[in-house]
Chains A and B, each alone.
Chain A
Amino acid sequence: MKLSDLTHRAGEWLRGVGPMHDVVISSRVRYARNLAGMPFLSRCTGEQLRELETRLRDTVLDSRLADEMLYVDVAAAGKLDRELVVERHLISRQHADGRHPRGVAISGSETMAVMVNEEDHLRIQVLRSGLQLSEAFEDLSRIDQLLEERVSFAFHDRYGYLTACPTNVGTGLRVSVMLHLPALKLTGQIEKAFRAAKELHLAIRGLYGEGTEATGDFFQVSNQTTLGKSEPQILEEFSTEMVPNFIDYERKARHALLNRQARALEDRVYRAHAALRSARLISSEETMYMLSLVRLGASLGLIKDIDVHTLNELFLQTQPAHLQRLLNREMDGQERSAARSDFIRRRLSQN
């Protein structure tokens, strides 16, 4: 398995076929873990950082966590490769931009990505498409178990698994979903939904960073509390009490739009569709925005000739690093806008 093998297909998490995929793009669970008897990364010497990276790389690869695995030495990887794994959501921006010895182990299906030397020594992540948190959690537990057979993690009787940041301490478990909420956004109810979520101790982040408006309406919602609850309890509260509310609000808002403002909704959706089919220059921001509307249209049956799978793939493949890799050349912003529009038109005409 090579990193370049990934470029041509969407990762498992983006496949778009999971339960509730009209609203829930993907589910993610992760454990933060640190080796016992080692300082956290901020206090490690260069030698200790190298020791950690080597040891954890070997541990992860020797544990046979998946049939097929690729380890990317992020510190040695070229910039485009680092961007590629960021765009695929397998490593964080912070991890891509670091300067110390670090890496990531990725399973062939891309449902698992273990970051070495990120904020904690290990960040074990499992992804699934749609709403499949318990399946993802089962896999995470299996992986954690396998790793624990080989290394001991920093653990405290009172505080649980010890993490570099105290907001992760205890279970070290972060559970999250990526949601597509275009109707809540269009109907101006998104702020209200977010306020409600904050009351429920959830964290919400826009997919494209704070303060960007025309983004495509994707949001990541995750639990904040990691201490004082068991792992199954965190999972249960999140997936049976919180996520269904979001799905419900969004679906209601979609149907309200369809029932009360059908003409305006159709106008937006079909214009977006036309823009994607006609543009000769398109930025990735505009692409996101248009794809989001088309995805909304597809989920309501307004658009019948493009499936969610194709849309999800387009979200990924129109990102800068993917585009350059797919077309096998380096391009500046202007060249990418042209190439992106050509790529989208070609892809949509295949349907």
Chain B
Amino acid sequence: MSVDSHPSPTGEIVLSLRGISKNFGAVSALTDIDLDVHAGEVVALVGDNGAGKSTLVKILSGVHQASSGSITFQGKPVTLPDPKSALSLGIATVFQDLALCENLDVVANIFLGKELNPMRLDEVSMEVRAWTLLSELSARIPNVREAVASLSGGQRQTVAIARSLLLDPKLILLDEPTAALGVAQTAEVLDLIERVRDRGLGVVMISHNMEDVRAVADRIVVLRLGRNNGIFYPDASNAELVSAITGASNNSVSRRAGRRSTQSQAGTSL
């Protein structure tokens, strides 16, 4: 058996990326990215600004299409030509820019695209469900019949998170879900991420807050300049993480980290 203190996750692989690249014209935002997410696992995706994290999330949610590479979801190779196909596979996303319709109210935003009773909208059931979701998140939203334009940044973020939970997804992608949240709401979202994981869902969380990342992540995947730059575990030291993220130095710490991560990924020991 492995002497590695990080047993590989038990759940089956929900999502598997191989060699994903994305070019925006001359800019290669992503180059040759590999990523695995297991059921019941929280993967934190970290990296500096512009590292390509959001781009990766957008590829997985069907907003952008990869220039090359393959995506396997629940064991089957899939293509994600548009957001609808990602949603119907069970991939829910909270985008960094939230993507809410400001002219619609909170209930309408949460249920957008999946309204109950399409020919005669069931407003009452939708409103009840919205309140339930929001109270699970300890949301401080005064009135769900108010247009989203009147909400604060954190309230909007809560709405976006509530929306992603609506349709029992298999995989949740959270792009900086706690960036605008208050203390209680952040704790609530982290709790929620753990609850969601315990229900056997895969979670990919992007965050710049190392404390949050350590608190919930089972694995930490570092991107740097659009490339994989190592895989870490929550007990990795700050110095290791920081140097992997910034690439500040090619020092012994980062070399060691890189070595260790490739080993654990391959599931072998020295």
**A, B in one complex:** no
